[in-house]
Amino acid sequence: MPNEIELLDLLLKNRGIKEEDKEKFLNPSYEEGIYDPYLMKDMEKTVVRIFEAVEAKEKIVIYSDYDCDGIPASVMMHDFFTKIGYTNFTIYIPDRHDEGYGLHMDAIKNFINEKVNLLITFDLGITAVDEVVEATAGGIDVIITDHHLPHAQIPRAYAILNPKQDGCAYPDKMLCGAGIAFKLIQALIIKYGEYWNINKGWEKWLLDMAGIATLADQVPLLDENRVLAYYGLKVLQKGKRLGLVEIFKKAGVDITKLSEEDVTFTLAPRINAASRMADPMMAFEMLSATDAVVAKASADNLAKINDERKIIVAHMMKDVKKTLSKREDKKVIVIGNPTWRVGVLGIIASKIAEEYKRPVFVWGTDGSDELKGSCRSWGSVNLVEIMTALPENSLLGFGGHAGAGGFSVAQTEIHFLEERILKVYGEDKEVEGGSEGEEIKDRIEAIISIDDITPANYNVIDKLAPYGEGNPKPKFLFKELPISAIKEFGKEKNHLELSFLNSKGKVVKAIAFFKTRESYNNMLNVGERINMVATFEKSTFGGRTELRLRIVDILC
């Protein structure tokens, strides 16, 4: 294996980081890495309108999505208004099951009846053309903040903050919804912070929310997003939010050593479980809690419903595998069941895409007349382009990113959906991404030995954190490793631990969650030599610090 300096240079080179950008990437600077928020189209107009609303004590509604992007955005706005002593505002998060994603006409009509003056959306609204017309006609100014791809027709809102819209010169187009919310608050403080008696830099305390969303929403961790995630983790580690302290305490995570994986695999599922299984306001209350009793109760409730969510997902995935085992292999997977819970379809779609390496459209029902679904991409397939190109009336509505989205479809049209999607995609078109072996090869940083699992090498790898989309955790190939021990652990014995001996006889462990011996075609046995792709990780479980490997794949 290369020495520490060579390893660092290799990892940076593999990520396209040039020599002149090396310091900026390894040591993100808040002052230098955060752009002027007024570079974003409509920012000045938005800030002035909010100031006018506050001064006139107008009724404001904060309308956010129900996921781990929209909810942190609404928490930031709640904290900001609380900071300036403004109370005439309401947080509105739509019910995932009764209303679904987006800005809804019934909600708009209620806001009109309630004499709302200003409606600000977060992480949604860029496709809500008719809803904005209704709100405007009812005397409500609508400010849309969203990061999803605009359609050909955009709403005629009072103002729109979306780096992806035409005419927006903002340098980083890949902010998440909460990232845009952070930029808005930053802009408000720049212009009116002194007037409101807010100390310069106060917004940095909101980086925990921006960081959570940036990591959870899987936007590229490059450019400004890297700064938000990097400093977001630092704020999280200070443990200022009572609800988060309780969440991580219950999960056995030391908040002072919090990593990006703790956010994406421990926190985000619990936040998302609120809307999937119950009420999204449960997550909002946990994140915004200032009372210890409320914080603990909220955290306990989220942990409980997340456990229930895991059981439901496991049963649904059994159904998926049973159904797909009887089907002919197609370039795109379209699958659904009227009994499937809409709230967890996104999880199911992600699992199918990862396991079957295909773009996936999954549908279910929430008891309404229409079917609702989630889709996830594989390779370079653009889902929004596919849904846009479908024949008219194929879908009742859709939205999202190139890699993930949601849709609704009439029950009378669902039987034609697979055929139409395959026709648009092209039945003879290969799913870009290649074979599994080619994919593994493409994402391997280097071939190393078990003797290279050292604290020094781990520290080099850790310099590039936080890892995520656009900055993948380094994966290494280990060749001809003899297995010294095999153990399946966990309550249901559904996690795998392999042990290996280095040249000094020291045991090095490698684990794979939700995998067993039978998960690998080559049937693992003690003494057998394997080729393994894995990442470095440091475990602090049970108060013990242990350097180990996380298995990505085992190759025959």
Q: What are phi and psi of 42, to 5 degrees?
A: 75, 5
Per-residue pLDDT band for 2 (boundaries 50, 70, 90) equals low
Give burial (CB, 10 Å; 0-12/13-18/19+) of 505.
Answer: exposed
Please report whether residue 120 resides in a domain.
yes
* Mean pLDDT, rounded, for 199-223: 96
Q: What are phi and psi of 279, to 5 degrees?
A: -120, 125
Please report whether residue 161 resides in a domain.
yes
pLDDT at 99: 85
Per-residue pLDDT band for 96 (boundaries 50, 70, 90) equals confident
Whole-model pTM? Answer: 0.89
Q: What is the signed CA dihedral for 24, 29, 31, 33, rounded to 10 degrees? A: 50
| Shared domain check, 518 and 453 | yes
CB distance 185 to 161 below 8 Å: no
pLDDT at 256: 94
| Shared domain check, 213 and 133 | yes
pLDDT digits (tens, 9 = 90+) for 356-367: 999 999 999 987
| Shared domain check, 360 and 262 | no
- Count of domains observed in the chain: 4
Per-residue pLDDT band for 406 (boundaries 50, 70, 90) equals very high
pLDDT digits (tens, 9 = 90+) for 504-538: 999 999 999 988 888 886 579 999 999 999 999 99
In this structure, the strands spanning 159-161 and 404-410 are unpaired
* Mean pLDDT, rounded, for 332-340: 95
**H/E segment holding residue 79:** helix 70-83
In angstroms, the Cα distances linking 79 to 22, 89, 122, 209 are: 35, 12, 15, 11
| Shared domain check, 129 and 209 | yes
Instruction: Kindly report which listed range (151-160, 193-202, 429-438, 547-556) carries the lowest average pLDDT score.
Output: 429-438
pLDDT at 556: 62
Output the CA angle 427-429-433, nearest 5 degrees: 130
pLDDT digits (tens, 9 = 90+) for 485-508: 999 998 888 899 999 999 999 999
| Domain end (from 189, 206, 234) | 234
Residue type, 187: A
Higher pLDDT, 316 or 523: 316
292: containing domain: 239-308
Please report whether residue 525 resides in a domain.
yes
Please report whether residue 102 resides in a domain.
yes
Distance CA(490)–CA(316), nearest Å, equals 21
DSSP 8-state symbol, 390? S
pLDDT at 428: 46
Q: Is the dihedral of CA 361, 362, 365, 366 positive or negative?
A: negative
Q: Where are the beta strands (DSSP E) in 426-505?
A: 444-448, 475-482, 485-489, 495-501
Half-sphere exposure in the Cβ direction for 67 (13 Å, CA)? 23
| Shared domain check, 93 and 77 | yes
pLDDT at 517: 87
Please report whether residue 285 resides in a domain.
yes
Per-residue pLDDT band for 539 (boundaries 50, 70, 90) equals confident
Spatial CA neighbour of 230 closest among 202, 201, 258: 258
What are all long-range contacts of 4-11, with beta carbons under 8 Å and residues at least 24 apart? 4/456, 4/457, 4/459, 4/460, 7/446, 7/457, 7/460, 7/461, 8/460, 8/463, 10/445, 10/446, 11/445, 11/460, 11/461, 11/464, 11/474
| Domain end (from 200, 234, 268) | 234
* Mean pLDDT, rounded, for 40-44: 99
pLDDT digits (tens, 9 = 90+) for 46-89: 999 999 999 999 999 999 999 999 999 999 999 999 999 999 99
| Shared domain check, 219 and 175 | yes
pLDDT at 402: 85
- The domain that holds 411 is classified in CATH as 3.10.310.30
pLDDT digits (tens, 9 = 90+) for 236-292: 999 999 999 999 999 999 999 999 999 999 999 999 999 999 999 999 999 999 999
pLDDT at 200: 86
In this structure, the strands spanning 475-482 and 360-364 are unpaired
Distance CA(436)–CA(153), nearest Å, equals 39
Please report whether residue 18 resides in a domain.
no
| Shared domain check, 341 and 217 | no
Please report whether residue 315 resides in a domain.
no
- The domain that holds 472 is classified in CATH as 2.40.50.460
Find out whether the peptide bond into 94 is cis, omega within 30 degrees of 0: no
Distance CA(552)–CA(451), nearest Å, equals 19
In angstroms, the Cα distances linking 402 to 101, 171, 177, 388, 406 are: 17, 20, 16, 11, 11
| Domain end (from 258, 281, 308) | 308
pLDDT digits (tens, 9 = 90+) for 426-461: 854 555 544 444 444 457 999 999 999 999 999 999
pLDDT at 311: 94
Task: Please list, residue by residue across 228-253, b when 16 or more beta carbons sit within 10 angstroms of its beta carbon and e when fewer do.
Answer: bbbbbbebbeeeebbbbbbbbeebeb
In this structure, the strands spanning 444-448 and 404-410 are unpaired
Distance CA(43)–CA(55), nearest Å, equals 18
| Shared domain check, 403 and 289 | no
pLDDT at 3: 78
CB distance 179 to 165 below 8 Å: no
Q: What percent of the chain has pLDDT over 70?
A: 96
